[in-house]
Amino acid sequence: MTWGIFRQEWLSLRREGAMWLVVALVASFAGYGVYNGARWTAFQTRTLASMAQEQHARIDKLRSSIRQFTGRGPDPRSAATVGDSTGAPYAVLPPAPLASFSIGQSDLYPYYFKLGLKSRSTITESDEIENPVNLLSGRFDLAFAIIYLLPLVILALTYNLVSGEKENGTLAVALSQAVALSALIARKVLFRALVLLLLVAAVSLAAIALPGVDLTRAGILPRLLLWTAVVLAYGSFWFVLAAGVNALGKSSATNALLLSGIWLVLVLLIPSSINLAAESLYPVPSRVEMIQAMREASIQANQKGSMLLARYWEDHPDLASPTGGAEGDASFTTYAVQMEVDRLTQPVFDHFEAQIASQEAVVNRFRFLSPAILAQKALNDISGTGVDRYRGFRASFDRFLTAWQDFFFRRISERALISSQELDSLPKFSYPDEPSGAILGRVLPAFAGLLIPVVAIGLYANRRLRNYPVAG
């Protein structure tokens, strides 16, 4: 019976031409999304490769300058020079294995910093210039096609599953084959879901052959399985929803209107309303305010440089030179001023981070109202472009920057010079990929939030279809 219904569905869809239109639309949307995501990931990869090449060439030049130094001119072995410019490495966050599937937050958060002895705010606030329109609207990727466009294709295929048969007068004929209406509709939905969702899954899996997806990286298989599971759960929600609306017994036109309205509410209105409410309740400081605070703090700190230096030696007696030579080093005066700038501007940055965290808390609290929010956050996490990964990178960078500056200021206080052999043993930054367990812990609630409505709506549709008026 099941295969007979599948065969009939295939012949019906092929005869109407709807299947080929769906295949073309899905392939086009998903293909362009994959291409766009791969292009962005390739840009990031090229940028990091260029930075690695520049760093390697710079350190090679520094090593050569140290070996050839004759004692005349600025000393290239100076710890202050090596730690702040010539020997400073980059701290980078490489794209995750599936970053090309969902651009997510990767075009908003910095994915590299250059180390140095400057203030933390100076190092971290030197952002790239980006088109604000791109940042506002986001980039089209595979996740966008799945979240926004896949439901429309599903609804176009399923809005008249029952009503179309009834209006054409074929529903009674179909039910004469000793099959319950609920079983018939379940098989029709299953066939269309298998065709469409497997097509999307196939395009997603085929995308791993594109540049930017490293199949040798650890954790890529669990990520692929999680991605596929979330896509299937999200698609299943819309298929079951269409079956539930069909079970109401309305006309095809009414079904189409209802489903379009539900898509509009769940995918556009609720996410937009939640974001608007979060931004209204917890507005973030403007960029101008942050820059002005940094400027004022820098002026105040520079005006009391000697006092700050004295306080620095009180706080760091272990760095004071026994000969008293290091106290007058300009590097420490500069560093003391920079630390004061960080101290004065920290409340502004703390307020900014607190407001962002509060906005995210509002979205997380109400995310179960919209399957689109659940799926988007889950796909971003799986792709490694969610906010949690970038926060982890920033926290790791902050710790490394502290260790880097402590290392070099100790060498400066000791009047120690950096040898060419020591360049290879300087502290190095690395940020490993998140373990699969951490990603799974964040994705499971979203997965459950998608499956629970599927089960609930499915049970409701099954009950309604058992009493569906076949005639009239």
Domain boundaries, the chain: 2-75+87-111+127-392+431-466
So what's the pLDDT on residue 139?
73
Long-range contacts for 252-260 (Cβ within 8 Å, ≥24 apart)? 252/159, 252/160, 252/163, 252/164, 252/167, 255/159, 255/160, 255/163, 256/155, 256/159, 256/160, 259/155, 259/159, 260/155
So what's the pLDDT on residue 428?
85
Classified as helix, coil or strand, 116 is coil
So what's the pLDDT on residue 221?
83
- List pLDDT tens digits, range 331-376: 666 666 777 677 777 777 778 888 888 989 999 999 999 999 999 9
Q: pLDDT: is 47 or 106 the higher one? A: 47
Question: Where is mean pLDDT largest: 23-37, 259-273, 427-441?
Answer: 259-273
Reported confidence tier of residue 327, pLDDT bands at 50, 70, 90: very low
Q: Are 35 and 142 in contact (CB under 8 A)?
A: no
Q: Are 200 and 26 in contact (CB under 8 A)?
A: yes
Distance, in Å, from the CA atom of 275 to the CA atom of 360, rounded to the nearest integer, reads 9
Residues 12, 18, 24, 30: what is their CA dihedral angle, to the nearest 10 degrees? -100
So what's the pLDDT on residue 131?
45
Does residue 126 register a pLDDT over 60?
Answer: no
Does residue 448 register a pLDDT over 90?
Answer: yes
Reported confidence tier of residue 378, pLDDT bands at 50, 70, 90: very high
Reported confidence tier of residue 12, pLDDT bands at 50, 70, 90: low
Average pLDDT (42-48) is 90
- List pLDDT tens digits, range 287-304: 666 667 767 766 666 666
Reported confidence tier of residue 325, pLDDT bands at 50, 70, 90: very low
- List pLDDT tens digits, range 84-103: 888 889 999 998 888 888 88
Distances (CA, A) of 177 to 2, 7, 165, 166, 183: 12, 15, 15, 16, 12
Tell me the β-bridge partners of 91: 113
How many residues would you count in the chain?
472
